[in-house]
Amino acid sequence: VTQLFENPFKNDGGVQKIFMQDISSHNKWVHHYVITDVHQDIIRQVCYLPENEAIISGSASSKSTVVICDLLGVKKSYIFKIEKG
Given a cut of 60, is residue 1 above it in pLDDT?
no
pLDDT(66) > 90: yes
State the pTM of this model: 0.64
How far apart CA 46 and CA 66 sit, in angstroms, is 10
Would you give the DSSP letter of residue 59?
A: E
Domain boundaries, the chain: 1-32, 39-80
In this predicted model, which residue has the larger pLDDT, 63 or 85?
Answer: 63
Asked if pLDDT for residue 83 goes beyond 80, the answer is yes
Span 5-45, pLDDT tens digits? 776 667 777 777 778 787 777 777 777 777 778 888 888 89
